[in-house]
Structures are given as C-alpha cells and as structure tokens.
Amino acid sequence: MALMKARRAATVAGTWLNETVSFFVFCLFDIIDPLLCLVYKVADYLFEAEWKPCYCLSAKEPITTTRGKILLSQNNGESKILTLSPLQELSGRSKIELEDISETLYTRPSLLSDLSNLSVKVTRSDSKCSDHHDKTKNKRKRSITKSSLTVNFTVVEMLRGKIKPQNLSHEVSRWSDCDCGFCTSWASTSDKDHSLFVKTQIPNEITAKEDVLFIHGFISSSAFWTETVFPSLLASSSPYRLFAVDLLGFGKSPKPADSLYTLREHIEMIEKSVLHKHNVKSFHIVAHSLGCILALGLAARHGNLIKSLTLLAPPYYPVPEGEAEPRQYVMKKVAPRKVWPPIALGASMACWYEHISRTICLLICKHHRLWQFIANLLTRNNRTVNFLIEGFMCHTHNAAWHTLHNIICGTGSKLDTYLDIVRDKLKCNVTIFHGGDDELIPIECSYSIKQRIPRARVKVIKKKDHITMVVGRQDEFARELQEIWKTSSC
C-alpha cells in the first residue's frame, strides 16, 4: 500500500513538473519564433534577393474566405473580392481547392492565448451551458455545408504565389535546404512530369500474383520498406509485385517550391506514379503513420480496387461532436506542447513554430551528409541507422511543414468520412498494427478506428515502438503480411 502511494505521488509530481517546465519552455518559444521570422526575412533577401512570405499573423484585419473567394477587409473600411478558385491548375499536374488548406498553417495561438481562451470558455460554459451547446451545434452544422477559412494578407500573398496555372517551378532548393545530388536528383532526371520515386520489386522466376503498394510515414522514405520488408519477402519467394513510393517532398521524390503538399496532391501523385504508370488494376495497401491517411484517401477513391488495408500506427484522433475547430483539435492532440516525452517536444516544435522548425531543418536536413558520416563512424556503418537517418533528414522544410499541417492536422473530421466509406462500401480486410510502447501515436488511435470499422482487426506488438514494430522484426512482419494477403485473396 505504501509503495502504491509513493508511486502515485511520484506520478503526480512528475506530471506537475512536466506541465510547469513545458509552460515556460513554450512561452519562450512563442517569443523566439517571431524573432526568427525577422532573421529569415533578412537572410532570404540577402541570399535570394527577394522577400519570402510566411504564415506569421499580420497586424491587419483578417481575410475571410468562403467557397474559393477571398474577402479582403482593409483598414479604410473598403473591401474587394479576390477569386482563387473554384479550381485552379497547380503546377500543371494537379488541382487544388482552398478547402484542402488547413487553417493550422496560419492560426496557431500562443500558449498564453490558449490558456486565456480556455478560462473564458469555462466561465461562459458555467453561465450559459445549454445556450452555448445549441450555438456550437448549429455552427458545426453550418461548417459541414459551407467551408470557410480565416487568413491574413501574408497568407493571400503566399497562396497567390503557389496557386498558379504555370509550369512546375524549376527552383530546386532554397538557401536553407540541402542541394546535394541525392536531395535534388529529381530535378536532374529526364522525367519531365516529375513523378514520384518508386522502388519496384518483382518476384524471381515466377509471375507476379498481385500488386502491393507501400506508403511510408512522416519524414521518412521508401527505404523504411525496401530495407526491411522487401528483402524478407524476396527471400520467401513471395509472388507479389511490390511498390514503395517516396512521397512528394521526401526522399528522392520531387520537392517543388510552389507546392502546398495537400492531401489531393499527394494522392494524385501516387495515382500517377504507381497506379497509372504501372497499370495497377487491383492492389493491397500497407501504410505507416501519416501514410495511413493517404491509404484511406486512396481507398475512398478506389474502393473497388482495394484488396486489403494494413495500417500501422494510424494517427486517427476522433473529433468530438460539436467541435467548432476540428483541425485545431487534432493539432493539439498531435503536438501537445510538452517537453516530455522527447518525441512530444519534437512534434510540438515542428507543428507550432514555423521558423523554429525551419531552423531545425537548416541544422539537420541541410547538413544530413555530416550527420550520416558521424552516425556511420559511431555505429560502424550500421545499415539500419543509415537508412533511418536518410529518411528522417532528406526533405525540405516547405514539404514537411505543409504536409504536417495539410495532411495530419488538416484532415480533421474528414477521416471519419473515409472510414465510413471503408466500413460501408468496401469489403476488404482491414488490419491494424500498433506498437505497445509507441510514444508518438497513442494506441487509442487504432482502437478508435476499430470502433468506426468493427471488422477491423487490431494487433498490438508488445515492447515495440513507432519504428521497431517493423524495424528489427521485418521477417515476422513479412510473414504476417503474406497471411493477410493470402486470406484477402480467397
């Protein structure tokens, strides 16, 4: 009994310490990020001879956008409409709607602001509980039928620079991005369409039975699969044709400076680079982390082609009924602004602070060859460490920032629609794997999908985390995959 009380007291003390330290650390970050904004404004002008817009809040009045029209409310009281859609060509390869752009890109309240708003909400809820509930419900209902965004003049400048019916920008990299041959290999290829980098594995001496698409997670690459599961499947004489893609902006795939890296762009690039290019008629999908969102998006679009869905650590955070800001809700779940565990600190810095995250990319991604050299020395050229570092560091800040917000945070309640389609219109098997020690994505995310899709099967890999649920047990995982595919083909 005394031991239990001591543990409980230690847990409470640890939680309190984490909350306290986190508050002061992130308040400091709230000050540092705007200062870094000024530093990068000057640096961009010196190195690139032009000012680069960012998503920092403007002192001017906000702009409200509805159904593709942007209303500019100026200080003198005059207003004018700037039309950016219904649909406009993006880089000649895809189309984009303003609904694809997450407001978390440009609306990220400071910690003090968040606490202030929370206290106001609590006070109001005590006095006007029922009235507040009705208004919130009506607001939620209106948001479903009519999407709107709130942005500022800087955001409009940024969107106008990216949403344009011009050819793909040939700007390979910014001064703060890596310009090595690996990171810019897509710009030197003869492929004028700039398709994704796709690693294909065909069975030896036998005809391919079926196709399988592998999709990696956030700040990763196709090597997550090709260095682990692919060799195991090849050794077992697996009769499947395997495709592993580097997502847009990651690995050896194109990293266009004029892309917003929306869900639509990512899915259309996969369709063009794999399904159309390789004449894929039906296929299994294996996806990890962020890739699970893209997998569900593909399943919603190609339901009749999907033979099975295997999701690893899906980042699904159910949005409560009546939540007025679903994307903000998801962002706070993904990045809770805590210093412990360290992975939560990293996610929070990457998600909440545009310029701090750019600084991290400048220090790590731009100099990834140095870090890889040091890692190889320390680990004696350990192959696993090498490909993990390569996947983690070979991307641009522009790609990581927009993908994080427009895919993970931006899907919000949209994932509910995808899951409902899989449940009601697809008959394929759905299998979910989750590491029991995963500190990045809580295991509740997988069980929430199970609640949404009752036929889904959840398997918890004990004593494994977000990465080691595959890396280190690839032979066993390959056998599990083949059993899933075999069962789904019956």
Instruction: For residue 346, give every residue at least 6 positions away whose Cβ sits within 8 Å of its Cβ, in sequence order, or none.
Output: none
Indicate the range of 136-140, 144-148, 229-233, 472-476 predicted with least confidence.
144-148
| Chain position carrying tokens 């040939």 | 170
What pLDDT is stored for residue 118 in this prediction?
53
Assess contact for 409 and 348: CB atoms under 8 A.
no
* pLDDT single digits (tens) 237-272: 889 999 999 999 999 999 988 889 999 999 999 999
Whole-angstrom distance, CA of residue 490 vs CA of residue 487: 6
How far is C-alpha 301 from the chain's CA centre?
19
Q: How many CA atoms lie within 13 A of 427 on its CB side?
A: 5
Q: Is 194 designated active site?
A: no
Indicate the range of 146-155, 280-289, 394-403 predicted with least confidence.
146-155
Instruction: For residue 338, give every residue at least 6 positions away whose Cβ sits within 8 Å of its Cβ, in sequence order, or none.
Output: 18, 19, 22, 344, 345, 348
Quick one: DSSP state of residue 167?
Answer: P
Across residues 467-486, what is the average pLDDT? 96
Residues forming beta bridges with residue 199, ordered by sequence position: 244
Whole-angstrom distance, CA of residue 315 vs CA of residue 449: 10
Q: Which helix (H) or strand (E) holds 80?
A: strand 79-83
Give the dihedral sign, CA 66/68/69/72: positive
* pLDDT single digits (tens) 6-26: 888 999 999 999 999 999 999
What pLDDT is stored for residue 395 in this prediction?
94
Torsion angles phi and psi, residue 335, rounded to 5: -125, 85
User: Which of the pair, 422 or 386, is modelled with greater confidence?
Assistant: 422
Indicate the range of 108-122, 271-285, 405-419, 455-469 predicted with least confidence.
108-122
What pLDDT is stored for residue 66 in this prediction?
33
Band of residue 295 on the pLDDT scale cut at 50, 70, 90: very high
Helix axes 2-48, 354-364, angle to 10 degrees: 80
CA angle in degrees (0–180, nearest 5) for 73-79-82: 90
Report the relative pairing of strands 210-215 and 240-245 from DSSP bridges: parallel
pLDDT score of 95 more than 60: no
* pLDDT single digits (tens) 133-177: 454 445 444 443 333 333 344 455 555 455 443 344 445 578 999
Kindly report the pTM of this predicted structure: 0.84
Helix axes 129-145, 111-127, angle to 10 degrees: 120
Whole-angstrom distance, CA of residue 181 vs CA of residue 169: 18
Whole-angstrom distance, CA of residue 328 vs CA of residue 113: 14
Band of residue 187 on the pLDDT scale cut at 50, 70, 90: confident
Whole-angstrom distance, CA of residue 140 vs CA of residue 319: 12
pLDDT score of 56 more than 90: no
Give the dihedral sign, CA 18/23/24/28: positive
Instruction: For residue 407, give every residue at least 6 positions away whose Cβ sits within 8 Å of its Cβ, in sequence order, or none.
Output: 261, 262, 263, 266, 290, 293, 294
What pLDDT is stored for residue 192 in this prediction?
64
What pLDDT is stored for residue 93 in this prediction?
37
Identified catalytic residue from 216, 266, 395, 402: 216
What pLDDT is stored for residue 217 in this prediction?
97
What pLDDT is stored for residue 174 in this prediction?
86
pLDDT score of 116 more than 70: no
What pLDDT is stored for residue 404 in this prediction?
96
Query: What is the tally of helices (H) and strands (E) in the chain?
Result: 17, 13
Identified catalytic residue from 91, 368, 466, 488: 466
Q: Which helix (H) or strand (E) holds 457?
A: strand 457-461
Identified catalytic residue from 91, 289, 357, 446: 289
Q: Measuring CA to CA, how many Å separate 97 from each of 71, 247, 265?
A: 16, 20, 11
Whole-angstrom distance, CA of residue 338 vs CA of residue 344: 6
pLDDT score of 285 more than 70: yes
Tell me the CA end-to-end span of the chain in Å, nearest whole number.
Answer: 54
Name the residue among 274, 288, 195 with its Cα closest to residue 241: 274
The DSSP secondary structure of 214-228, one letter per residue, reads EE--TT--THHHHTT
Whole-angstrom distance, CA of residue 430 vs CA of residue 422: 9
What pLDDT is stored for residue 390 in this prediction?
87
| 388, two tokens | 């993990």
Instruction: For residue 280, give every residue at least 6 positions away whose Cβ sits within 8 Å of its Cβ, in sequence order, or none.
Output: 211, 213, 243, 274, 305
Quick one: DSSP state of residue 250?
Answer: B
Assess contact for 71 and 64: CB atoms under 8 A.
yes
Q: How many CA atoms lie within 13 A of 478 on its CB side?
A: 22
Q: Is 276 designated active site?
A: no
The DSSP secondary structure of 385-453, one letter per residue, reads HHHHHHHHHSB-HHHHHHHIIIIIITTTTHHHHHHHHHHHH--SEEEEEEETT-SSS-THHHHHHHHHS
Identified catalytic residue from 102, 395, 438, 488: 438
Assess contact for 307 and 486: CB atoms under 8 A.
no
